[in-house]
Chains A and B, each alone.
Chain A
Amino acid sequence: MSENQATRLAIIAGHGTLDSAYPPLILATTAAAMDMEAAIFFTFYGLEIIKKGNADKLQVAPIANPAMPMPVPNIIGMLPGMTAIATDMMNNWMEKANVAKLSDLLNMAVELDIKLIACQMTMDVMNVKKEELIDGVDVGGAATFLEFASHNAITLSF
């Protein structure tokens, strides 16, 4: 009995915070390294990840985030400056653990021929032009993503 292994990884990236941007990029680059075809569909806030110069500026808020390694009471977390502090802390941990920066992961993704698809509808809704996005991104809609994901793919959403 032969196993039908998935040959593709299809990811929907719908969030634009620092902690939600890593899983799509790490999984897609690893999948490509394992000879799988990978595609990431950036929709809604996920567009923030692929805006020029933006990947390394993504933030994470401590408010309503009880899973943060250093939990902050919401009443403190809402104070001006707290999001910047939490973001700096997380970036420091990433650097100490030698995790690649998001911009480096994006460069690798383009190098590894990973399909980066920007959601046309979101671009219209949020008034984002193609020139604002990094090089190596194609624009497409839900059907584009679904066509890719329908062929023997693992599909994930972040």
Chain B
Amino acid sequence: MDISVDQTLDCSGLSCPMPIIKTKKAIDGMQIGQVLKMIATDPGSVPDIEAWTARTGHELLGHEEEGAQFIFYIEKTK
């Protein structure tokens, strides 16, 4: 995916709820409009990140799978 990324967060090997908690911390430390690339290996993180972005209002620009990794592109909207 061709999205310019401002920060990368690697949550490989971490299980629920850690990917979500770390994503929130990372987004909190970023500026509005910046994009976070989050990498996770927990399959549960796919519906979890979708639920998290729906709930918090930040935008999930897209997500892809690369082998055992799930990669998410999240834009901080507020």
Contact between A29 and B21 (Cβ–Cβ < 8 Å)? yes
**Shortest Cβ distance from B23 into A: residue:** A33
Given A33-B20, A33-B21, check contact A98 B13 (CB 8 Å). yes
Q: How many B residues face the partner with a CB closer than 8 A?
A: 14
Q: Once the chains are docked, how many angstroms separate the CA of A13 from the CA of B23?
A: 27
Q: Is B31 an interface residue (CB 8 A)?
A: no
Q: How many A residues face the partner with a CB closer than 8 A?
A: 13
Q: Which residues between 49 and 106 of chain A lie within 8 Å of chain B, taking CB atoms?
A: 97-100
Q: Which residues between 1 and 41 of chain B lie within 8 Å of chain A, taking CB atoms?
A: 13-18, 20-21, 23-24
Q: Once the chains are docked, how many angstroms separate the CA of A35 from the CA of B24?
A: 9
Contact between B21 and A108 (Cβ–Cβ < 8 Å)? yes
Q: Is A1 an interface residue (CB 8 A)?
A: no
Name the distance in Å between B54's Cβ and chain A's nearest Cβ: 9
Q: Once the chains are docked, how many angstroms separate the CA of A33 from the CA of B23?
A: 8
Contacts of A125 in B (CB 8 A): none
Q: Is A34 an interface residue (CB 8 A)?
A: yes
Q: Is A153 an interface residue (CB 8 A)?
A: no
Name the distance in Å between A123's Cβ and chain B's nearest Cβ: 28
Q: Is B56 an interface residue (CB 8 A)?
A: yes
Contact between A33 and B15 (Cβ–Cβ < 8 Å)? no
Q: Once the chains are docked, how many angstroms separate the CA of A30 from the CA of B52?
A: 9
Contacts of B55 in A (CB 8 A): 34-35
Contact between A30 and B14 (Cβ–Cβ < 8 Å)? no
Q: Show the binding face of A for B, using Cβ within 8 Å.
A: 26, 29-30, 32-35, 97-100, 108, 112
Interchain residue pairs A-B with the least CB separation, the first 6 = A33-B24, A30-B17, A98-B15, A33-B21, A34-B55, A33-B20
